[in-house]
Structure 1
C-alpha cells in the first residue's frame, strides 16, 4: 500500500467545501478499505488567501476528520501557486499526489481509476474530459482553438486535460525542480516525462458558487501559457515586419508608376489609413515584446512562488509519527 494525498486548491469555496469534503472522504475511505492506499492518506485543502470562511471550515474539518488537513497561504497567490504549494507540502512524505479543484466539476470517481493506473506502473495519470457538453459554444470553440494553437507553437499539452491528475513522488520532485515564477502547470507537467496514462471522465456542472475563472482570467491564463513556453510570437513579429516592408516597396513602385503616368490622386485617405494601421501594428508588436520582458523581470527577482502561513498537513504528519 502507498500513501496518497489529494491536493485541493481553494479560493472562496465555502459554499462547496462541505460537499467536496464529503465526496473526497468517501473516495479515500473506500480506497483504504480496499487496501489500495495506506490508512494515513490525506486530503490537503490549500486556502489561497480566501476572504470568506473557507479556512475556518478547513480548520474545523481537520479537527473532526483525521483524513482532512490543510495549508493556509499568507495571501492570494493564484490557482497555480496554490496547487504548487499543496504539491510541495504533500509530496514530502506521500508516494502519489492527486490534484483536483474544489468545485466538484471534475469527477472524483475517476480517482480510483487513477490509483489503479499508478499501481500498474504509471507515474503521471491525466484526467481527460470525454466531452465539453457543460461548456458554452464560445468556451468550447476557444478551448479547441487554444489547444491547436499551442500544438502549432510546439507546446506539448494534453488536450481537454486541466489540473486534475495524479503524479508519483518522483514526478512531483521533478516538477518542483522547475523554478519559473510564471506558472503554467498544464505545460510543465508533460515536460516531466515518465510513463503516463489517461483516465477519461464526464465533467459536471459546478456544484455551487461562482467560477473563479471568468473570461478575463481565462485570457490571461492562455497568454501566460503561450508566452511561457514559446518564442514563436516574437518570430512572427519579425515576419510581420518583413511583410509590411514588402507592402511598402510595392506601394512605392505603384506610386512612382502612377506619378509617371500623370495619375495623381489626393493621398489623404491612404496616408491616414497607413498611419493608423502601422501605428496599431507597432503597438501590438511592442506589447508582445513587453510581455516577454515582463516575464523576464518577474523571473530574475526570484521571489517565492507562495508563502505558507500555517501547515496543518505537516502538523498532523509529525503527530502521527510521534504516535
Structure 2
C-alpha cells in the first residue's frame, strides 16, 4: 500500500497529487491511503465515507471527523519523518520524502518495483507524477473525485440560474488574499484589471450574450462589476471549483484550483500571466503538463 503523507498546498495541489497516485494505482493495481487529504475528505463521495481515504474506494466502519482525521494524518506524517531520518528500510515499512523541486516518476520501473516490494510505502512531497497514466485514467480520476450530492445540487442550481440569460458562461477566478504575497504578488491583479480583461473576453464574442461567474477567496463588491452581466459563485471552496467546471470558459491567474476545474469539466482555460495581454484559451488542456509531468 502507498500511503500519502505530504500536504503540498491547498485544495488544487492536493487533488492533483492524489490524482497522480490514483493514475498509478489504477494502472498497476496498487492500494492507496491518503491521510493527508483530511481537510477535504468530507466533500467527496468516496473519501467522505472512508476514514483512510483509500483506493480502491470503500467505506470504513468508522468515518471519524476532521479532528480525528487530523490526528491520524499527524501520526503518519511524524512516522514518515522518523523513517526518513533513521534511514529505516524494510519490506514492511519504507518512506520517500522529496524536496520541493525533487521529482519521482510513478510510472518508472524503479518506483513500481519499490511500491510492489514494500507492504506500506509512505510518500511525502509534491512532484510525484505519472504522466503516462494520468490522461489514460482521466475518467476514472474524475469519477473518484465526484462531490457529495448536496454540493452537486447547489452547483446545478447556481449554473441553471447563471445560464438563463446567456450564450457563453465564463468563470472568473479572482485570486486575492494569499496571492498578494505569493511570488511577491506576481499574479495578484486589482479588480479594475480583471474588469478590463472581462471586457476583452466580451469583445471576443460579439454576437453572443456573455455572462461571468465570479468566484474569489475574498469578498468582492457587486458595484465593481455593475456594467457586466454576472453572477457571484456560492462562496464555497468545493462548489466554486465545480461550478467553474460547468462553465464554457475559465479565466484566472495560474493556479491548480482553476486547472482542476478545467480538467474536471473539459473547459478551455486562460491562465493570466500578463493581465494586459489578449486572452488565449487553452482548448487542448496543455496546461496539465505542469501537474502530471
| TM-score normalised according to structure 2 size | 0.30
- Which of the pair is proportionally richer in helix? 1
User: Rg bigger for which structure?
Assistant: 1
| TM-score normalised according to structure 1 size | 0.28
Q: Which has the higher contact order (CA 8 A, sep 6+)?
A: 1
